[in-house]
């Protein structure tokens, strides 16, 4: 077993940590005494778990165990062991240690540089400086750079110190390759064995180049580095080449970003991968225009990374509140002002910062700074996520940053929301039987399931999805590119469709489970839950229809007459659910009579409105309690359509039914009775309406 592993095992076995460290090698003392968690959050599943472990020491131990099992020569194993033991030491140390390092100019924020500096200091103190230690120093200083070059984070010339050290110490290119292959295998496979398998061939090509001393001859243009930095986004469907080409043609953007070509980037993907390409490029353009750029080598996004995640139910989750606010902030930054270095907005609660610290003059730190009030409000939103305070907290955030309130349903659990939308394919297939013509608008396309169905089942149709949410449009654009879909997406307002499409040019407009969201979320004439919102949406659709065109509606429905129903709760928490719901639901006043400990009486439509939310459970409560699914009875809907759209509107289909699944989902939660105590089925939940425009 490697001596380094023996030292780690002795430390881990000892019940007296301080005593064990007193005899430990210097590198282990630094790693074991870490008081800050310095780790790339990209591959971390839970932030909370980091507080209960030492992830840096764990990683070093994994890399050393991989080395211990490698069938390589003794001299390679010895060099690689020492390099691996020291390569993460700048992430260790106590707070006091790190303050001392900062005063001494040790760049622990760029960990390979800082670790090499700590190694050199240790060797100098021991009087052990020689050719061998110079090679180990170079291996530590360039630790991880092969993988970072593959990711676009470093330029090829950053390997120069290693090339020079290898030339002085090892005669043949073959020896250099064997050494670097062993080292990089341990570095990368310790992150993930699957990752090593994925990149092994590319790593080998870079190693051959370094071993041959050709790094200076290799250029990596900024376009290629940007492409590599967006690898994860491209895999999710981002049209990197197309979007970049458009922006470059408009702004000569690549020329403006060329000053970044020689810089090293830290924590880019972990910090910025969830932002769109345009937003990502704006951040890089801000950095490229900074006055201090010529004097720095490293650009760090570590602070952004650390601020962008939190734990939700034990798992790492993007802080969607900060993300939405930053997206709006970046959207309002003018490209020309960015290029001239004057891109500053007047929002007192958010700004971007570029900071060079006196002790670390070669590193530029990019960050988004929220005001103390905004930070506390965002923290409050996180804490309130599963309480009745959540809506109030989010609305305060909307007001503070002037966000659109009708984007509320995209603001929380967006990934789950889009997945739920995609799970409704079977219910949406019936819509296809009533589609006419060649141009179809899908209003509020969610995860794109109906767009897919239109393309697959009706290939003659040109399908266009329209959504107000930039994030939904971004997700659908990625999906379209990744799956080579032919449908289109467009960011637009459902209440003003003629601003986006030519009046009379559309054959079918589809509102699939979206009108109730417009009704519930969009304040129309100053109030939500307003039937005028539905009227505006229908008129907007009717305005763009060609003669003979259709509006298809699939949405919630109310029952008539509004008789009383008795709910018998079969779960002990049921009555508390109803009490909570009646307080939180803003659509209308929910009033019920308590008949017994587990039975209540209330109007059938109030009963069903409550059961819509009760069906989905605690996880969805915060979202569902904000929506009123049923807002018309069948008769009311028919009269409303005629009054709103006039004589040219013909109702072709008008039916309503109980959607499959509700009965089964509620079977172990409630039993439903009429006022005489007879068991009755659940009321109808869903309507299906087709409206044709007469010539």
Three-class SS of 296-326 = CCEEECHHHHHHCEEEECCEEEECHHHHHHH
Q: Give me the pLDDT at residue 50, please.
A: 65
Tell me the pLDDT of the chain averaged across its residues.
89
- Residues 247, 390: Cα–Cα separation, whole Å: 38
Determine how β-strand 439-443 pairs with β-strand 506-512: parallel
Q: Give me the pLDDT at residue 421, please.
A: 45
* Residues ≥6 apart with Cβ < 8 Å to 552: 431, 434, 435, 508, 509, 510, 511, 512, 689, 690, 691
Cβ atoms of 442 and 554 closer than 8 Å:
no
Q: Give me the pLDDT at residue 298, please.
A: 95
Cβ atoms of 411 and 324 closer than 8 Å:
yes
Question: What mean pLDDT is predicted for residues 555-573?
Answer: 95
- In this model, does residue 425 exceed pLDDT 70? no
Q: Give me the pLDDT at residue 408, please.
A: 43
Beta carbons within 10 angstroms of residue 86's beta carbon: 28
Question: What mean pLDDT is predicted for residues 342-361?
Answer: 84
Question: What mean pLDDT is predicted for residues 644-671?
Answer: 94
Whose structure tokens read 């930070």?
A: 375
- Residues 327, 133: Cα–Cα separation, whole Å: 48
Question: What mean pLDDT is predicted for residues 382-387?
Answer: 75
Paired with 316 in beta bridges are: 311
Mind listing the pLDDT tens digit for each residue in 171-192?
Answer: 788 999 999 999 999 999 999 9
Q: Give me the pLDDT at residue 17, please.
A: 61
Mind listing the pLDDT tens digit for each residue in 618-638?
Answer: 767 777 888 999 999 999 999
Whose structure tokens read 């993300």?
A: 323
Beta carbons within 10 angstroms of residue 583's beta carbon: 10
Mind listing the pLDDT tens digit for each residue in 389-421?
Answer: 776 777 777 777 777 554 444 454 455 544 444
- In this model, does residue 426 exceed pLDDT 70? no
Question: What mean pLDDT is predicted for residues 297-324?
Answer: 87
Q: What percent of the chain has pLDDT over 90?
A: 65
Three-class SS of 469-497 = CHHHHHHHHHHHHHHCCCCEEEECCHHHH
CA-to-CA separations, 197 to 45, 141, 191, 203, in angstroms, rounded: 21, 25, 12, 10
- Residues 346, 452: Cα–Cα separation, whole Å: 42
- Residues 666, 574: Cα–Cα separation, whole Å: 11
| Helix or strand holding residue 14 (H, E) | none
Q: Give me the pLDDT at residue 391, please.
A: 66
- Residues 407, 411: Cα–Cα separation, whole Å: 7
Range with the lowest mean pLDDT among 96-100, 407-411, 519-523? 407-411
- Residues 508, 433: Cα–Cα separation, whole Å: 12
For the chain, the helix, strand and coil percentages under 3-state DSSP, each to the nearest 5: 55, 15, 30
- Residues 37, 99: Cα–Cα separation, whole Å: 15
- Which of 185, 11, 208, 201 is closest to 92 using CA atoms? 11
Question: What mean pLDDT is predicted for residues 116-141?
Answer: 89
Mind listing the pLDDT tens digit for each residue in 191-248?
Answer: 999 999 999 999 999 999 999 886 556 778 999 999 999 999 999 889 999 999 999 9
- Residues 606, 588: Cα–Cα separation, whole Å: 9
Three-class SS of 334-376 = CHHHHHCCCCCCCCCCEEEEEEEECCEEEEEEEEEEECHHHHH
Question: What mean pLDDT is predicted for residues 112-141?
Answer: 89
Question: What mean pLDDT is predicted for residues 39-47?
Answer: 71
Range with the lowest mean pLDDT among 49-53, 133-137, 512-516, 524-528? 49-53
Mind listing the pLDDT tens digit for each residue in 455-500?
Answer: 999 999 999 999 988 778 888 998 999 899 999 999 999 999 999 9
């Amino acid at each position: 077993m490697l001596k380094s592993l023996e030292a780690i095992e002795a430390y881990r076995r000892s019940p007296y940590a301080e005593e064990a460290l007193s005899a430990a090698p210097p590198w282990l003392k630094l790693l074991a005494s870490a008081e800050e968690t310095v780790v790339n959050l990209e591959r971390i599943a839970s932030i909370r778990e980091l507080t209960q472990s030492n992830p840096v020491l764990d990683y070093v131990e994994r890399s050393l165990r991989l080395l211990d099992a490698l069938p390589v020569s003794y001299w390679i194993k010895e060099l690689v062991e020492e390099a691996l033991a020291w390569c993460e030491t700048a992430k260790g140390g106590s707070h006091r240690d790190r303050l001392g390092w900062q005063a001494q100019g040790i760049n622990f924020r760029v960990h390979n540089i800082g670790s090499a500096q700590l190694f050199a200091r240790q060797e100098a103190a021991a009087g052990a400086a020689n050719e061998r230690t110079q090679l180990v120093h170079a291996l530590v200083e360039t630790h991880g750079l092969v993988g970072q070059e593959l990711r676009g984070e470093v330029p090829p010339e950053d390997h120069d110190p290693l090339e020079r050290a290898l030339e002085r110490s090892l005669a043949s290119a073959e020896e250099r390759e064997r050494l670097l292959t062993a080292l990089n295998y341990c570095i990368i496979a310790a992150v993930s064995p699957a990752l090593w398998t994925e990149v092994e061939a590319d790593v080998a090509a870079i190693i051959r180049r370094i071993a041959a001393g050709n790094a200076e001859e290799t250029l990596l243009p900024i376009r290629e580095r940007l492409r590599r930095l967006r690898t994860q986004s491209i895999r999710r469907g981002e049209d990197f080449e197309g979007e970049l080409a458009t922006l470059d043609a408009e702004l000569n953007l690549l020329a403006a970003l060329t000053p970044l070509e020689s810089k090293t980037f830290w924590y880019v993907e972990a910090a910025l991968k969830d932002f769109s390409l345009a937003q990502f490029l704006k951040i890089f353009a801000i950095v490229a225009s900074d006055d201090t750029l010529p004097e720095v080598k490293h650009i760090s996004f570590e602070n952004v990374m650390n601020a962008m995640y939190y734990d939700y139910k034990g798992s790492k989750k993007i802080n969607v509140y900060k993300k939405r606010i930053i997206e709006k902030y970046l959207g309002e930054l003018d490209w020309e002002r960015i290029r001239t270095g004057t891109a500053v907005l007047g929002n007192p609660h958010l700004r971007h910062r570029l900071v060079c610290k006196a002790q670390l003059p070669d590193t530029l730190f990019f960050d988004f700074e929220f005001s103390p009030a905004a930070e506390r409000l965002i923290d409050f939103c996180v804490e309130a996520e599963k309480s009745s305070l959540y809506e109030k907290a989010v609305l305060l955030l909307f007001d503070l940053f002037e966000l659109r309130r009708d984007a509320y349903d995209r603001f929380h659990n967006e990934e789950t929301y889009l997945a739920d939308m995609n799970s409704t394919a079977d219910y949406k297939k019936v819509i296809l039987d009533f589609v006419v013509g060649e141009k179809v608008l899908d209003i509020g396309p969610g995860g794109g399931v109906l767009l897919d169905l239109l393309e697959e089942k009706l290939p003659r149709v040109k399908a266009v999805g329209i959504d107000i949410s930039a994030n939904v449009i971004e997700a659908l654009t990625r999906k379209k590119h990744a799956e080579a879909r032919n449908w289109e997406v467009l960011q637009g307002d459902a209440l003003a469709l003629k601003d986006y499409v030519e009046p009379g040019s559309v054959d079918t407009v589809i509102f699939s489970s979206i009108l109730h969201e417009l009704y519930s979320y969009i304040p129309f004439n100053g109030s939500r839950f307003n039937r005028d919102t539905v009227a505006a949406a229908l008129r907007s659709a009717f305005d763009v229809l060609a003669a003979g065109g259709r509006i298809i509606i699939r949405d919630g429905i109310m029952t008539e007459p509004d008789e009383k129903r008795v709910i018998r709760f079969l779960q002990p928490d049921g009555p508390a659910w109803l009490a909570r719901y009646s307080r939180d639901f803003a659509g209308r006043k929910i009033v019920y009579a308590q008949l017994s400990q587990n039975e209540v009486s209330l109007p059938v439509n109030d009963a069903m409105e409550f059961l819509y939310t009760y069906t989905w459970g605690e996880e969805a409560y915060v979202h569902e309690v904000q929506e009123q699914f049923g807002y018309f009875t069948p008769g009311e809907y028919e009269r409303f359509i005629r009054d709103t759209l006039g004589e040219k509107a013909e109702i072709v289909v008008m039916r309503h039914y109980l959607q499959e699944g509700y009965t089964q989902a509620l079977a172990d939660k409630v039993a439903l009775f009429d006022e005489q105590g007879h068991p009755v089925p659940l009321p109808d939940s869903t309507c299906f309406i087709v409206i044709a425009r007469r010539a």
